[in-house]
Amino acid sequence: MRKMLFAAAVFAASASGAPAPYDLVISGGMVMDPATRSERVADIGIKDGRIAAISDKMLSGAKMIDAKGLVIAPGFIDLHSHAQYALGYDQQALDGVTTSLELEAGVYPLAPFYAAREGQTRINYGASVGLQSIRIQIKTGIEDQAERKIVGSDEVLRRKAEWAETPFTPEERERERSLMLQGLRDGGLGVGVLYEYLPAVGRDELYDLFKELGRLKAPAFVHVRASEKADQDLLLPPIQEMVADAAATGAPVHICHIGSKALAAVPRALDMIDGAVRRGVDVSTEVYPYNAGSTALGSALFNPGWQEHFGATYGDVEWTATGERLTEQTFETYRKQNPAGAVILHVIPDPAVKEAVAHPGVMIASDAVPFVDGKGHPRGSGTFARVLGVYVREMRALSLMDALAKMTYLPAKRLESISPAMRRKGRVQVGMDADLTLFDPGKVKDNATYEHPLEHSSGIPYVLVGGVEVVSNGAIVTAAHPGKGIRAAGQ
């Protein structure tokens, strides 16, 4: 019966001659709003890029999507993606992402990043102020590029002793502080701190910067320091440092990829974060649903002592270009010849990943890295579908509503204090932005693997950004570029 009414509504909208009430109607899907935890079968009417109506009755529009059997959820918001380029955006769109943000590494300066994407991007984008980029500019004069990689080019990495491993003078620290504040004025969504990549950054130096962030209520997105050793006791101090700095300065702090940083100590680290939150400290965290990380082999993460930091051996490191596991000889050769070359580090315990994915309040974020010659980490293609298919449907580690909250409402809430525009995202409510992801809960599946990381997710037939389809019938709409820049308030 509903199918007949749907066809009748389409006919009425086209035959009446009068303007359709809505630009687009999504009909008969299960509307799930994590903000209110409500779910019901309804029609959604979209007008001028926003949700204009949610109704139990049939609505008519200039265009209609039959969503019977599908969940209509807020578009997924990724706080942590380094794949800020066309292919990266498309892979994420096919995984249900409508807003992809570079917050852990950040960029500097901000203006070229936003200008390069204006009117050219399928999904929403944005960035924090990159502390690493600022240090590179101060020490080398090299400015960040709009199409940057996670830790830069071979040239930059070969000079990492200058910007990553040399302590700043008082004058350089003041310049660092000044550029950070300028980046925030330019619209940066907080500050990205690649702490482990910057071993020369002093604890007092970062604490002083956090005092500025506390004053401005601008969040810090932190890849915490390296632990001395990957055991239960020594994995905790880097997390404790961030909790203490947040408590002492009032800076909002978001700890990136808790799985790869806390490893076997994930349960204790999460308990620590929960306790801090209960006592009024503004600290949060995220996880990606994989048991391996990825980065550049020439980065400071692989300075002497890395085996102890990660509890790893050479054989745990995979050279993504060939898929080979490294030996001491190939490690040293590739690190010297191609420092920007990507590796996959197989060190995260599966129980730690499951614990973090299921834990209340932990957000889902991909940590997507750029693909090179079709190689890379599958998290850039399958993070969100993997949570829905593996952890919700197969493992039943958490409910579908809880999973959606971790992908939509909680990330939006994390950014509302600095970017009020995020108050219109992460929700399926009248007046909200029509950033929506439609998926089949029984079929949604990640297909990307370490061997074939570009295989896109399935079971996500429609993705809308500002009411415009960017994925239709499971394929990218190549002519659609409705993505907008997400900036700090007033920018």
- Residue-wise pLDDT tens digits, 223-272: 999 999 999 999 999 999 999 999 999 999 999 999 999 999 999 999 99
All residues at 6 or more sequence positions from 161 whose CB lies less than 8 Å from its CB, including other chains: none
In angstroms, the CA 386 to CA 71 distance is 16
In angstroms, the CA 293 to CA 343 distance is 8
Label residues 116-126 b or e (16+ Cβ within 10 Å = b).
Answer: ebeeebbbbbb
In angstroms, the CA 38 to CA 59 distance is 20
Residue 6 has pLDDT above 60, yes or no: no
How much is the mean pLDDT over the chain? 94
Residue 31 CA: distances (Å) to CA of 198, 294, 313, 445, 468: 44, 35, 47, 20, 18
Residue 370 CA: distances (Å) to CA of 61, 340, 341, 374, 445: 39, 12, 11, 9, 21
Look up residue 265 and give its two tokens.
Answer: 């100590």
- With tokens 């219109």, the residue in question is 424
Mean pLDDT across the stretch 151-165?
A: 87
| pLDDT for the residue 408 | 98
CATH code for the domain defined by 98-422? 3.20.20.140
Chain segment 272-331, per-residue pLDDT in tens: 999 999 999 999 999 999 999 999 999 999 999 999 999 999 999 999 999 999 999 999
Residue 4 has pLDDT above 80, yes or no: no
Residue 152 has pLDDT above 70, yes or no: no
Coil/strand/helix, residue 423: helix
Q: Are 92 and 452 in contact (CB under 8 A)?
A: no
Share of the chain above pLDDT 70, in %: 94
Q: Between 92 and 10, where is the model more confident?
A: 92
Q: Are 41 and 31 in contact (CB under 8 A)?
A: yes
| pLDDT for the residue 142 | 85
Taking phi over 0 as left and psi of -120 to 50 as alpha, with beta for the rest, 410 belongs to alpha
DSSP state at residue 276: H
DSSP 140-199: H-PPP-TT--SS--HHHHHTHHHHTSSPPPHHHHHHHHHHHHHHHHTT--SEEEEGGG-T
Chain segment 74-91, per-residue pLDDT in tens: 999 999 999 999 999 999
CATH code for the domain defined by 2-74+429-476? 2.30.40.10
Chain segment 187-224, per-residue pLDDT in tens: 999 999 999 999 999 999 999 999 999 999 999 999 99
Q: How confident is the model at residue 491 (pLDDT cuts 50, 70, 90)?
A: low
Residue 148 has pLDDT above 90, yes or no: no
Residue 147 has pLDDT above 50, yes or no: no
Residue 8 has pLDDT above 60, yes or no: no
Domain with CATH 2.30.40.10 in the chain: 2-74+429-476
Q: Are 197 and 300 in contact (CB under 8 A)?
A: yes
Domain with CATH 3.20.20.140 in the chain: 98-422
